[in-house]
């Protein structure tokens, strides 16, 4: 939907740092920009009027890690369907992983994503492949991709094949920027593993992964970052020990950041005991002690961002034996609802905004949403009380591999606006 003027009435702004933070306000948007913002009601006529009804107005969320599978795997997701699912949950920006076919590793492939994103409500930012085909010792044309619009570099769901290739990548990007992201797993310690190694899972007969596979790799890569004096970002960490290692590295002055999947904040390895392949993810769900350690990292600032880790899979990849099923959860559309249902008492809204909107953009050197007159409109309205069910009728994604699919959840995006594009989800 596109409208020249929008008036949002009586919403509570949650935007730490704004003069209107925690205040009930009206916002008037004209030609994609904030034309007025006030604690007193605004009476200007508008094409679209949205009553926030004391709901929360928040900066548009930004997902630091998602897979949209386009080009090449459009039967699982396209850029358009992924963006539509994201907007439904209040996202206005996505960092798109290079896990496509072919891999996103040239400037023309980066440009493909940027051009298609011009028609979506949600801004799409390409993450280029760090190594050729995500599995070689050769680093990609990172400079050309950066010049074309790539905001960071990643090996997707694969670890860097050697310490040497990571060191070269860090040094190569040092001069021109671009976040280098790591899926830190020592694959030699986890050949074809499916679940966490713990007393809870020992009887399942499934192949198990020790936490050591993650922590040993994080230690090694932090040492490389310290040696090169470069920044490294660890994606979807999963254990309390990983949080401790990164916390100590930050205190020691190493330039390091990290994110965690929202799913690892609510589930533990007992979720796999029913052999439901929707709970098969990489890294696997760990113990309750690890879940609490991740939450502690959220609260003390060690963890910089919460991500959806959106990884849509077609039914043929999931409706098989657990060991043979593909990893991943389709997580964009239910992202806010999972927070409102399971995490809102542990993570305050102020911190949620920092973790899902401000910090991800800061890590990528992107502008944060601003609530001042003249700023481009970038916001959404959240109703924390509304209950709904993600199902075949309202699913915007092409895939359904989500453990909350078909179950009632609480918390819904009512309205989202990004520049001159907007969508209203309340009838």
Where in the sequence numbering do the catalytic residues fall?
309
Q: Whole-angstrom Cα distance, residue 180 to residue 171?
A: 10
Query: Quick one: how far is CA 223 from the chain centroid?
Result: 26
- CB atoms under 10 Å from CB of 224, counted, come to 19
CA angle 62, 265, 369 (to 5 degrees): 20
Beta strands at 56-59 and 378-389: parallel, antiparallel or unpaired: antiparallel
Q: Whole-angstrom Cα distance, residue 78 to residue 213?
A: 32
What single string gives the DSSP state of each residue in 233-256? EE-S---HHHHHHHHHHHHTT--E
- Burial category of 290 from C-beta neighbours within 10 Å (exposed 0-12, middle 13-18, buried 19 and up): buried
3-state secondary structure of 110: helix
For residues 169 and 155, is the Cβ–Cβ distance under 8 A? no
For residues 44 and 23, is the Cβ–Cβ distance under 8 A? no
Residue 93's beta-bridge partner residues?
A: 62, 123
CA dihedral 191, 257, 154, 106 (to 10 degrees): -170
Q: Whole-angstrom Cα distance, residue 28 to residue 142?
A: 41
């Amino acid at each position: 939907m596109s409208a020249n003027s929008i008036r949002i009435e009586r919403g509570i702004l949650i935007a730490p740092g704004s003069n209107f933070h925690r205040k009930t306000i009206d916002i008037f948007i004209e030609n994609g920009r904030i034309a007025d913002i006030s604690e007193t009601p605004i009476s200007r006529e508008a094409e679209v009027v949205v009553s926030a009804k004391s709901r929360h107005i928040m900066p548009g969320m930004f997902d630091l890690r998602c897979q949209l599978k386009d080009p090449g795997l459009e039967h699982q997701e396209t850029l358009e369907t992924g963006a539509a699912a994201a907007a439904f949950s209040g996202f206005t920006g996505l960092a798109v992983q290079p896990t496509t076919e072919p891999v996103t590793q040239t400037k023309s492939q980066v440009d493909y994503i940027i051009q298609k994103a011009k028609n979506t409500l949600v801004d799409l930012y390409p993450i280029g492949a760090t190594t050729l085909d995500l599995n070689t010792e050769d680093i990609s044309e990172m400079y050309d991709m950066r010049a074309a619009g790539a905001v960071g570099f990643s090996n997707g769901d694969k670890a860097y094949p050697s310490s040497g290739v990571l060191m070269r990548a860090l040094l190569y990007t040092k001069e021109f920027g671009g976040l280098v992201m790591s899926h830190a797993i020592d694959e030699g310690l986890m050949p074809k593993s499916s679940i966490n190694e713990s007393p809870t899972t020992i009887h399942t007969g499934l192949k198990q992964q020790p936490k050591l596979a993650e922590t040993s790799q994080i230690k090694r890569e932090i040492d490389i970052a310290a040696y090169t004096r470069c920044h490294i970002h660890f994606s979807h960490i999963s254990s309390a020990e990983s949080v401790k290692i990164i916390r100590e590295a930050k205190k020691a002055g190493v330039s390091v950041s990290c994110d965690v999947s929202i799913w690892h904040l609510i589930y533990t390895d007992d979720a796999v005991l029913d052999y439901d392949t929707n709970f098969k993810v990489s890294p696997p769900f760990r113990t309750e002690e690890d879940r609490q350690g991740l939450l502690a990292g959220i609260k003390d600032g060690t963890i910089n961002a919460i991500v959806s880790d959106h990884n849509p899979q077609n039914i043929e990849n999931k409706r098989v034996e657990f060991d043979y099923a593909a990893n991943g959860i389709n997580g964009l559309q239910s992202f806010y609802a999972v927070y409102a249902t399971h995490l809102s008492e542990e993570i305050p809204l102020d911190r949620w905004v920092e973790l899902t909107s401000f910090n991800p953009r800061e890590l990528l050197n992107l502008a944060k949403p601003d609530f001042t007159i003249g700023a481009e409109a970038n916001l959404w309205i959240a109703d924390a009380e509304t209950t709904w069910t993600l199902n075949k009728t309202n699913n915007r994604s092409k895939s359904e591999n989500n453990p909350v699919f078909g179950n009632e959840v609480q918390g819904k995006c009512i309205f989202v606006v990004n520049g001159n594009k907007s969508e209203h989800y309340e009838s």
